Structure formats: C-alpha cells, structure tokens
Amino acid sequence: SEEGASIAQRFAQLQEDNFRAIAIVMFAQYVQGGSFGQAVRMAEEVTALARSCAAGASDNPECLKPLDRIFLDTICQEEDLPWLSECCAKEDPERHSCLLSLKNSSRAFTSPFDSTNAEAVCKNYSQSPQPLTAHFLYEVSRQRPFLYVPTILAGAARYEETLKSCCRGTGAPTPDPGECFQRQAPKVVKPIKEDGLRQEHTCGILEKFGERTLQALKLAQISQKFPRADFGTVSKLVLDVAAMHRACCRGATLDCMSAREKILHFVCSHQAILSSKIQQCCEKPLLQRSECIISAENDDKPAGLSPHIRDFIEDKGICQQFAQEKDKHLARFLYEYARRHPEFSAQMLLRIGKGYEELLKECCRSGAPESCCRRGEEELKKHIYETESVMKSSCDIYKEKGDYYFQNELLLSFTKKMPQLTSAELIKFTKQMTTIGSKCCQLSQEKLLPCAEESLDLVLGEICRRHLRDPINPGVCHCCSSSYSFRRPCLGKLEIDESFVPLSLTPGLFTFPEDLCTNQEEKLQQRKQEMLITLIKYKPQISQAQLASVTAAFATMREQCCRQSSPGACFQTQGPELIKRSEKLLSA
C-alpha cells in the first residue's frame, strides 16, 4: 500500500472484519484508560465511515483525510476522556507525539482467559461470539500498547479456535470447559508474550545503542537469510527495516503497519533475486506473512561464492576506501562475511565486524597494512574458537547433567554475578537459559551457534532492561551499556560482585518447612533452588567442595526427617544443628 492509503482503499484491502478488529486494537492501544464500550463505539464509528467511503460516498470530505488523522480525530472527539484534552488541543504532528507519550507498557500482563467463569463465557459465546473476540482484542491491546497488530490479531484467531473447541456444548468431548481453557490458554498467550518480548528486545537495542547498531544487526541477519541478494538490495532492506522499527517502537500503530507491509511487498515481489525459500510465506494472507518470513530458513549460498574474502585484507587500496567511506566499507565487509557464514550468530558477526574496524584503524596508521592485516586473521580464528568452545562446553555440561543440575550450575554462577536479583528472578532467568540448552544443544554444529547466542541474547536483553528499571550492580551496568555485540562475553566474564554485602546469618535466613517432604518433584526442586540462592548470597565465596558437603548434609537430614511421623518437629531440632555444622564447614 502506498504512503497514506485512503480509508476506502484500506477498507477494501482488509475487508470489514479485519478493519474493525484493527480499529479496536488501535483505540485500545492509544486510549489505555478508556472502557471497552468506548473502544468498540469508536471502532464502529470509523468502520461505518470506511464502509460508506468504500461504497463511493466521494463527496464526503472525511473520506479524503489521512487515516491517521481520522483515528486521532475520533479519539479527540470522544467524551469522557479528560486526560487526553491537553494532547488533543495541539496540532498534528505534535498531537500524535503527545498521545504516543502517554502510552504506558509497564502494566503486568494478565491472561485474558477466565477459566473460573468458563460456563458463562461459553454461554455468551453460543449466543454471540463477536463481542468475546472484541473483548480479547481490547484487553490484550491496552495491556500491550506497543505490540504489533498482526501479533494481536493472530492471538485473537487462536482465542476463537479455543472457544470453539472448549465450548462444544457440555456434551461428551469437553465436559469441563474451565479445565479445557486452562490447557489451551498457553497456545494463545505464549506467542503474544514471546512476540512482545522480541519486540521490546529490538526497541531496547534501538534505545540503548542507537540506529547504527540496529542497522548493523539487521544487515547481518538479512545477509544470512538472503545470501544471493546483492549489496544494494540488502542495504535498501536494512534501512527500511530499521525505519519500520523506529515507527513501531514509538508506538505509531498505523505507520508501523504500513512500513511493515511495504517491506513485505518488496520482499515478495523480488523473490527471484532474494530467496527461493519464501514462496509459501508470500502466498499466505498478508497478516501472517512477516512471521513466516522471519522463521523461514536461510536461502542456499550462491554456487560460485568464494569461501574467503581476501580483498578486504589484501587489497592495496583498502586504507583509502576505509578513509573515504568508512561505514559503507564496513557494511560491505559485514555483508560479505555474513552471507558466507550462516553457521555464525548475528552477534558474533557484529563482533567480527568490530574487530575488522579496529584492525583497519590500527593497520592503516602503521604504513604497512598488508602484513598488519594478516595478523588480524589469527585474532579472528582465536575469537571464533573461543565463542564456539564456550557454547560447546555449555552444551556438554547440559547433556551430562540434565535440566535441573544444569540450572543449578547457572544459579551458582549468576547469583554470584548478580546477588541483587530476587530468588524468583534468578530462577526465572536461569530457567530460560536451561530451556535454550534443551532447544539448541541437540542441533547440528552449524545451527548451534545461531540458536544458542540469538536466544541467549533475548534473555540477557531482559536482564539489561531489568537493570535499567532498577539498577543491579556496577558490573552489570558496564556490560549492559558498553557494547551490544559484546554483551554476552562481557556478562560471561563477570565474577563475584564485590560491591555486594553478604547476607548475615539471622534465625530466619534458613528455614526448613514441612513441605520439603513433598513428593511433587517440581515443588521440591524450587524449594532447594531457593535455599541454594540464599546460601550463595550468604557465602558468595563458597567453593565447589564446600557446596557439595553442605548439599550432602542437607540431603541426609531431609531424608531422615521425612521418614519420621512428624517431619516438622524433626526439622525444628535438626535444622539448627545442620546450620551450625555448615557454618563451621564454611568458615574452615
């Protein structure tokens, strides 16, 4: 669609149901404090206008207004939204920027599923399904005011599927709709959460490290995905994608959608020069295309691609090129390197690009660039080896120890690095890292690095955003703000946080409740992990041997007490004994 498609064109292109759904999303995202009734009323008003414009009411001046303006005017004409009056008094584009600045994404995400009230939900669904879907759109959109529209619409479609399958009358297939809702809810909620996280992640990179870093990341990713495309085409895509993220991260819903659409149109109409792997994606309905293209596999490398890019190291005119067009020269290097190496992660490619830039800075000063640049190859091999061996050794530990013990290793390491995090946060982040182990460690060597480092990057991004909200410690601060591509190696090298004052041994620090005897494995593991975290916060310098002794002593006591008729009483006498013995052991 061209810049500023008219409301009639949009209506014809999207069809009424999609148009109305997008209008509800738009109003709920812009007016988070508005009621469901207000969002639906505004959406109906705009949909009615669109319908009449599409039917040829060409004499109505409203039909000629840009779509953005129609939406914002509708918001500003709505009664009972006093907190918007200050923004609404301004002229565009200030009015738009002002409304965007009111968007607040810090609310907790509550699932739009009501499994306690499932019978009533199903009754409503059987009478009229439309309002339930509209309510889902409204709830998700006001909780996630920056989330991409297609993500929300895809969630709503999955929600409808769930209602259909869980509410099939109270006959035999699903006698208990509440239980069915609980079972099906993750299918609906998980993609919304994951997409939201990915988007926050990208916006976090843009905000913290700026447009140049985001462009470099996209250049690496697009060059890997479309290795046959020429540099000019890839550069155009990179600039368009970065501009799209700028609009989306501002929360400009319509600009974000139309920028995305233009990119999809370009990609799908240039398949011949881009990729042979996206034909099926391009045949899908518009709103499902981008998700499909993002997860499509990389195209095959072109047949005659030389394995090395010697010109970037051996060419005589290299220093002159670097001096004249620094960014373009570095971008070409990154493009040529990335399209040859689908087995590297994008973050590693950025580190290699950074290394190349440092190398040129140094070598072009030295007067003998050729011999100097050859030394760079040694550095490069070393870096590749280091990254690959970190991932390989992590996977070896994972394969040897399994989920629970691997997570405990991570807890030991991360509690020392970031003792300021709560137990719940430490367990959550290390659990996510353990899931990466289960997902990536079984892959072939050429898929391992992209899988592991890209996924890890998301978790570390979340830790860094948590640090921005509520600072953790100086070490984390340094790693989260100095360089995007070196964030993982930097956080990996952190040792014990010296600024942390260890917890003191108060009577309530270690408690041994009766539920340690539970036979629910998961609950017990969480209890033990919470105790492990407290132990490390109390003795950050604890050695592996000391930890093993304390753990063994605890296991023995737990076994003894859980065999007793009243475990609680046993823990009350044995617990303090264990603490005394451990204290002695730890001070040795």
Model pLDDT for residues 330-344, shown as the tens digit of each residue: 999 999 999 999 999
Q: 325 pLDDT exceeds 70?
A: yes
Q: Are 82 and 89 within 8 A, CB to CB? A: no
pLDDT at 4: 58
pLDDT at 428: 97
Query: How large is the average pLDDT for residues 388-392?
Result: 92
Of 73-87, 240-254, 365-379, minimum mean pLDDT range: 365-379
pLDDT at 379: 86
Query: How large is the average pLDDT for residues 384-392?
Result: 92
| CA atoms of 516 and 98, how far apart (whole Å) | 54
Q: What is the CATH number of domain 7-191?
A: 1.10.246.10
HSE-up of residue 206 (Cα within 13 Å, Cβ side): 18
| CA atoms of 578 and 342, how far apart (whole Å) | 53
Q: Are 155 and 140 within 8 A, CB to CB? A: yes
Query: How large is the average pLDDT for residues 103-129?
Result: 81
Q: 129 pLDDT exceeds 90?
A: no
Identical fold for domains 7-191 and 514-587, yes or no, is yes
568-581 tens-digit pLDDT:
999 999 999 999 99
Kindly indicate the confidence band of residue 273, based on its pLDDT and cuts at 50, 70 and 90.
Answer: very high
208-235 tens-digit pLDDT:
999 999 999 999 999 999 999 999 999 9
489-513 tens-digit pLDDT:
999 999 999 999 999 988 889 999 9
In sign, the C-alpha dihedral spanning 111, 112, 114, 119 is negative
pLDDT at 117: 83
> For 401, which DSSP code?
H
Q: 88 pLDDT exceeds 80?
A: yes
Of 368-382, 438-452, 518-532, minimum mean pLDDT range: 368-382
| CA atoms of 134 and 156, how far apart (whole Å) | 8
Query: How large is the average pLDDT for residues 536-551?
Result: 94
Kindly indicate the confidence band of residue 1, based on its pLDDT and cuts at 50, 70 and 90.
Answer: very low
pLDDT at 6: 86
User: 7-22 burial string, b = 16+ CB within 10 Å, else e?
Assistant: bbbbbeebeeebbbbb
| CA atoms of 193 and 52, how far apart (whole Å) | 37
Kindly indicate the confidence band of residue 318, based on its pLDDT and cuts at 50, 70 and 90.
Answer: confident
Query: What's the topology of domain 398-493?
Result: Serum Albumin; Chain A, Domain 1 (1.10.246)
Q: What is the CATH number of domain 514-587?
A: 1.10.246
171-214 tens-digit pLDDT:
445 568 888 888 888 999 999 999 999 999 999 999 999 999 99
Residue closest to 30 by CA, chosen among 94, 80, 75: 75
Domain-wise residue ranges, the chain: 7-191, 398-493, 514-587
| Secondary structure (3-state) at 506 | coil
| Average pLDDT score over the chain | 91
Query: How large is the average pLDDT for residues 430-449?
Result: 95
Q: 304 pLDDT exceeds 90?
A: no
